[in-house]
């Protein structure tokens, strides 16, 4: 039997255990919340929801960074992905968290703190990148699609 979660945003959803993600360290600012579901809807692509399964009011908008910044490349040390047992970094799914305000054109993505998912064991982690040129607010709907002023 699939667990049913009563969420604020999606109403009741059923998540099979294998589809849920585990963040062993939670997210920065939400260290206690470790279980999430990735919810995709083709009409909203390339955006998806990361829905907390422990705090049903909490969700985040994620996007594949290569869609908003094609040259986005990250280097991750082995020890940074140890907690999610990622042996082959090329297998990881990478997403960035978006802030979507009332005025949609001011939406931004945090390129400095991406989420790395190990699809093999469904474990995930938010990492903080050392590259000083990566912004925490990349305004992807603004020309020239650049960084915060």
Binding site for another protein (CB under 8 A): 27-30, 41, 43-47, 49, 58-61, 67-68, 77-80, 82-83, 97-100, 104-105, 107, 110, 112-113, 126, 128, 136-137, 140-141, 145
Least Cβ distance, residue 80 to another protein (angstroms): 7
User: CA gyration radius for the chain?
Assistant: 15
On the 0-12 / 13-18 / 19+ scale of CB atoms within 10 A, 141 is: middle
93-99 and 35-39 strand pairing = unpaired
18 vs 70 by CB, closer to another protein: 70
SS (H, E, C) 95-119: EEEEECCCCHHHCEECCCCCEEEEC
Least Cβ distance, residue 9 to another protein (angstroms): 8
Least Cβ distance, residue 90 to another protein (angstroms): 21
Least Cβ distance, residue 110 to another protein (angstroms): 4
2 vs 89 by CB, closer to another protein: 89
9 vs 120 by CB, closer to another protein: 9
2 vs 145 by CB, closer to another protein: 145
Say how many CA atoms lie within 13 Å of 40 toward its Cβ.
8
Any residues with CB less than 8 A from the CB of 87 and at least 6 apart, and which?
none
Least Cβ distance, residue 112 to another protein (angstroms): 6
5 vs 49 by CB, closer to another protein: 49
Q: Which two tokens stand for residue 43?
A: 């009409």
- Alpha-carbon distance of 63 to 133, in angstroms, equals 20
């Amino acid at each position: 039997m699939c667990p049913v979660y009563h969420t604020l945003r999606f109403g009741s959803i059923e998540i099979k255990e294998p589809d849920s993600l585990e963040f062993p360290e939670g997210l920065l600012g939400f260290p206690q919340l470790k279980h999430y579901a990735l919810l995709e809807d083709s009409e909203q692509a390339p955006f998806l929801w990361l829905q907390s399964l422990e705090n049903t009011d909490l969700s985040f908008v994620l996007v594949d960074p290569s869609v908003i910044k094609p040259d986005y490349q990250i280097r991750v040390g082995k020890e940074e992905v140890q907690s999610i047992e990622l042996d082959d970094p090329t297998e990881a799914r990478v997403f960035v968290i978006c802030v979507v305000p009332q005025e949609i054109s001011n939406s931004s993505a945090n390129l400095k703190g991406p989420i790395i998912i190990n699809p093999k064991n469904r474990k995930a982690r938010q990492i903080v990148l050392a590259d000083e040129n990566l912004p925490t607010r990349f305004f992807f709907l603004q020309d020239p699609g650049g960084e915060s002023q």
